[in-house]
Structure 1
Amino acid sequence: MQVLNLTPVARQGGGSVKIVATFDIELSNEVRLYGLRLLEATDGKRFAYAAQAGNRRSATFSRSLSEAITAAASFELEAATANDLSQSAA
């Protein structure tokens, strides 16, 4: 599994769940998903949400796969924002 093209979101929205990043993911050599969102609840818990086609999700994930996707995207987000913070501090 590899996170591709993760982009932190500057305008996160004003609801109880905020969008913190968008990303694509390669689940295997045969499967890639595009336009996923990494969301964060007010308690700090994050979760991945599949892209939508109209008002329906285009994919759903088992709990274990969702947790793995969320962990991978969170790791990439932390790496991306830590890099941004270290450059702005210099």
Structure 2
Amino acid sequence: MIARVDVEITDDLRVFNLKLSRRDSGGYAVFAPNAMGSRVVTFSQPLVAEIASAALAALMEPSPHDRNAD
């Protein structure tokens, strides 16, 4: 697992606690939480690529804790 992320798909749809993972065969996988042992959301491969790209870019952004003390 690389990270857990929250994603706003549209102004009307937000999905929380998605798991971003690297596939053994290359690329990425995105999994939504399960409800009662069943999947409640799946994503097309183009949407997985878009979510992964945005999540990885956000993870690379510096945070206030990354700054050096002057």
Report the TM-score when normalising by structure 2: 0.71
- Name the structure 2 match of 1:58: 40
How many residues are aligned here?
69
Distance, in Å, in 1 between the alignment partners of 2:53 and 2:33 is 18
- Name the structure 2 match of 1:38: 20
Larger radius of gyration: 2
Shift of 1:35: 1.1
- Name the structure 1 match of 2:50: 68
- What's the RMSD between the two structures over aligned residues? 2.7
Higher relative contact order (CA 8 A, sep 6+): 1
- List 4+ stretches of structure 1 deviating above 6 A: none
Shift of 1:43: 7.4
Matched, 1:20 2:2: yes
Shift of 1:57: 2.2
Structure 2, unpaired ranges of 5+: none
Structure 1 counterpart SS, 2:10: coil
CA 84–54 in structure 1, closer or farther in 2 if over 3 Å, else same:
farther
Structure 1, unpaired ranges of 5+: 1-18
1:59 counterpart letter in structure 2: V
Identity %: 28
